[in-house]
Amino acid sequence: MISEKLLKNIMISSVVVLIIAIAFASVGCVDRDDSDERASGDSSLMIKGSDTVLPLSQAMAEEFMLLNPDKSITVVGGGSGVGISALIDGEVKMAMSSRDIKESEMTSAQANGVNPVLQVVAFDGIAVIVNPENPVDQLTFSQLKGIYDGSISNWAEVGGEDRTITAITRDSSSGTYEYFRTEVLTGDNFRQDALVQPATGGIVQEVGQNRGAIGYIGYAYLNDNVKALALDGGDGYVEANPENIMEGEYPLARPLMYYVDGEPTGLTKEFLDFIRSPTGRDIILDVGYFPV
């Protein structure tokens, strides 16, 4: 017979063993959860920034996820500056941009331990658009600058009808805004009464509804509700069409890019490799941009 004292000791020992077993099981669960989190960290990607690059990134992400159903890519616009800030703050791994990173942004990034590396993925032309009912079909850079710096305020001054000009611009966080200000306004300020739109789609909508409006957009946003003007940057009038943009003849053409933290690895590299693949090149053309 087992004594009462021995039975009691056995029961205590069993309880201790059970507690230890539960503890080890819990540790094992935590280790597996951490492993799952590390794995999921390379199965999802957030991209943020330029509204110009946005439709390209969305189309790429959709096709990439169809081919890789275990991967998730989220794309958010807001402007080049918004995307670069998110990269600097560690909120995203990729920032969409239609302009070069500023020196002040690079300084902030380095202070945060972030190393923005440029990845050019496509080229774009900036179309200057008016309402289809506007009889003006072309402008010189001098006329375009006058419209946007405020020295020209009526369409009659550039060969059009007697109608007040409504100049529409993007907000200052936009890379397209920065590029247009540099190339057309040569660094001068936009007219104070310019109508500011936070997204490119808003410019297209406003110009399509307002006969006196003018705006500038990424070529991929062109549709039948607006008319693109031919521009003369000093070498004669050139229409905004794929051939002229790809051949470098159109005066408002620029690279589209991503900034990533350091050399791309993991899902970031996979996605960039996909963009540069034959499938990616086809998507770039389908969206309305031009492959590198």
The per-residue pLDDT for range 35-61, each reduced to its tens digit, is 333 334 589 999 999 999 999 999 999
- Over 60: is that where the pLDDT of 32 sits? no
Identify the residue with better confidence: 226 or 14: 226
Q: What is the pLDDT of residue 134?
A: 98
pLDDT of residue 34: 36
pLDDT at residue 233 in the model: 92
pLDDT of 128 strictly over 70: yes
Which sign, positive or negative, has the C-alpha torsion 35, 37, 39, 42?
negative
More confident residue, 33 or 168: 168
Mean pLDDT calculated for residue range 121-146 = 97
125 DSSP β-pair partners: 253
Q: What is the mean predicted confidence (pLDDT) over 235-252?
A: 92
Arithmetic mean of pLDDT over the chain: 87
pLDDT in tens, 150-172: 999 999 999 999 999 999 999 99
Q: Look up the pTM and report it.
A: 0.73
For residue 41, the model assigns a pLDDT of 52
Q: Provide the pLDDT for residue 16.
A: 35
pLDDT at 12 over 70: no
Bridge partners for 259 per DSSP:
95, 118
Whether 144 contacts 128, CB under 8 Å: yes
Task: Answer yes or no: is pLDDT of 141 > 90.
Answer: yes
Residue 6 pLDDT > 60 = no
pLDDT band at 21 (very low <50, low <70, confident <90, very high): very low
Indicate if the pLDDT at residue 115 is higher than 50: yes
pLDDT band at residue 292, thresholds of 50, 70 and 90? confident
